[in-house]
Amino acid sequence: MSKLIIVSNKLPFEIAETDGKPFLTEKTGGISGSLNAFSKYSRSVWVGWTGNENIVIEGKEKSDIYRKYRDEDCHPVELTSEEISNHHHGFCNQTIWPLFHYFPQYSDFNLNYWEGYRQVNEKFADAVAEIAAEGDKIWIHDYHLMLLPKMIRERNPDLSIGFFMHIPFPSFEIMRIFPWRQELIEGMLGADLVGFHTFDYERHFMSCVRRLLGYDNILNTVKMDERVVKIDNFPMGIDFDRIQKEAAAIQDPGNGNRSDGFGRLFGPEPGENGQIKIILSIDRLDYAKGIPQRLEAFEQFLKENPRYLEKVSLALFVIPSREVVAEYQDQRRLVDEQAGRINGEFGTLNWMPVLYYYRPVTREEMTELYTISDIALVTPLRDGMNILAKEYVAARTGETGVLILSEMAGASKEMSEALLVNPYNSFEITSAITEALDMPEEEQKKRIKALQKRLKVYNEDKWAGDILNSLENVKKLQQTSLTRKVSHKISENFCKKYAGAKKRAIFLDYDGTLTGFHNDPQKAMPDEELYSILNSLVSDNKNHVVIISGRDKETLGKWFIDFDNITFIAEHGVWIREKGEDWSMIEKIDKEWMEIIRPTISFYVDRTPRSLLEEKNYSLVWHYRHADPDLGEIRSWELKEELRDLVSNLNLEIMDGDKVIEVKNSGINKGRAAGQQLAGGEYDFIIALGDDWTDEYTFGAMPGDAITVKVGTKSTKARYYTDSVESVRELLNDLAGSGNNNEK
């Protein structure tokens, strides 16, 4: 049976130590902790680092621990201290984390970090390759392993691979400053499915794919050479039922909504003055969490609302994190100073406005804090999702409480009933705190119920199931495409038909089919290999070879001056040069219209840097392949709209090709010219190859038994596709060779 292989930076079990004796304990936080429950009832195994830095185990102790890992279906990846330093502490924490959270000033683009990152990803790829078998699904998680999908693909191209990013994916303007940006994007595209928490991150990734690699996307899919990669968003859910049960169990009915632990610590029992309202803030120490901005807003709230003095406290829990990093040390000093200043200015003998704790918080403690807090203040400056916001809502069994949530957190996209704020705007946060404290219980319940209903339906299991189902659907789509790809077996079948034919017609596009594209179209001239292939084809007198191109007749005539035994059709069917004859027009057309259209296209050339106007004898072509992708797309729509009004009474046609827009006389196209060639004889083998939208006319003109081949994976009328100019040349060589072998 096939299995699911979950790959994350760390395993869901970590090594702990008591009285010098190491043992294995289950993690409760992070990605691995969240997914472990899901993995237990799916047939899955786990690959990851032990996370073991400070506990040294050797000999029998190590063997025992690793046996326990295997009992839990975990496969540890061992990292050296240098690899941990460069990969985990270096590249992940000091390069990617700040950059992807929009703090590029903190990013350290250290070459050693990058090399360490590549090395660790290679180690993970080797570990996956050892246990992966045919039919397995690989689910890779997060920014620690962005190169891994491509590395696994190179080792085993047939595996089904999914990648999910748990942190924000930045805009192109941020990504473009990263030195190894292309390698990272290519690494992620090794997956069949790339998932993000929100559409914003998905959109940013697709923009980077288009701008850095040149792949267009259609309906959130990227069509690469041989694969379709789906890009989608899946907002991560939580284990709603578990949190509700834990919250219900932890509450003491005799103490209202307060437990015996933090409840008594945070404020007095109900009395004449009532209980102190608790605003909860729990975060890792991190500059992306916006803790100083939060404290600044709370201080402003106290200044503007003296009526709440001694009635409201901010329970501030800061969880130690990356304490060796200078920026994190600075954050802690700033938070310490702010909390001390606020307490010094506003505190009394009986009341502290900021209840500040710098320590880890267990899962049980977090659930308790959720249940006793009247407000959750969750205002990161940037956050991939923020599960804490969802857990707070789930734990509100009494259906009261207010969530104040940063609009920069991924969770804000699906939690519109929360009070959404700009985390950089202290006035908004202050206003939201006041609104939350004054909010009637009826309104609180209305909001919480709506949020809980959504969280209960789209829980952790639903999230994981949707991703894996989507991965399966992508694989089915790829298999459908692969049945039409010119494989070795299909090519052999073509050659067999070719060898047995008595009269053959071979239609070949030029640019993008026989040769690749160039920045300067005049540099895409034939090479010796192409001349050799064409000579092999035309040396067989059974073949009628037709090169049918959008090129002008002068260029084709110059490049193929010695090929009198090939029929050339230029400018998409305007001009023809039959074997051994001079160029002639297929039909008489005028070109007076060009004086009317040229100024409009020239205007768009001026407005679109790196675009150009190509003037042919009977058509005008606007090329924008090398323009900015987004600007080029916008300008193309604008130009087409403007041209439609101009050509409506001129008997002209607008051809929207691959990064080109061509205006020419209506009715003149490759299909019409190809049809005229077929009318001249009875062929028992017909093949047509092309890459562009204009070649669809050729494919449409072919009889039902013809072989039609598209170069590329875009939608087409062709029955088959191949992936490159090189594969076209290989196919033509094979055909020519099979004909020669048959003669022998």
Give me the active site residues, please.
Answer: 509
User: Residue 176 has which token pair?
Assistant: 């473009």
Burial 303-312 (b: 16+ CB within 10 A, else e): eeeeebebeb
Look-up of token digits 């880890």: 360
318, 275 Cβ separation under 8 angstroms: no
Cα–Cα distance, 460 to 69 (Å, whole number): 24
| Contact partners, residue 567, CB within 8 Å, separation at least 6 | 544, 545, 546, 547, 576, 577, 578, 579, 677
Cα–Cα distance, 258 to 544 (Å, whole number): 89
Would you call 175 exposed, middle or buried from its count of C-beta atoms within 10 A (0-12, 13-18, 19+)?
buried
342, 353 Cβ separation under 8 angstroms: yes
User: Residue 288 has which token pair?
Assistant: 């992306």
Q: What are phi and psi of 255, to 5 degrees?
A: -120, 30
169, 184 Cβ separation under 8 angstroms: no
163, 147 Cβ separation under 8 angstroms: no
Look-up of token digits 């920045």: 519
DSSP 276: P
Cα–Cα distance, 49 to 39 (Å, whole number): 17
Cα–Cα distance, 13 to 97 (Å, whole number): 24
3-class DSSP assignment, residue 439: coil
Residue 623: how many other CB atoms lie within 10 Å: 22
Closest Cα to residue 404, out of 172, 386, 648?
A: 386
Cα–Cα distance, 378 to 62 (Å, whole number): 41
Would you call 232 exposed, middle or buried from its count of C-beta atoms within 10 A (0-12, 13-18, 19+)?
middle
Give the relative orientation of helices 363-372 and 387-395 as an angle to the nearest 10 degrees.
60
DSSP bridge pairs for 351: 348
| Contact partners, residue 373, CB within 8 Å, separation at least 6 | 278, 279, 280, 315, 392, 401
Look-up of token digits 């350290």: 108
Cα–Cα distance, 74 to 131 (Å, whole number): 11
Sign for the CA dihedral angle at 39, 43, 49, 53 comes to: positive
Cα–Cα distance, 422 to 427 (Å, whole number): 9
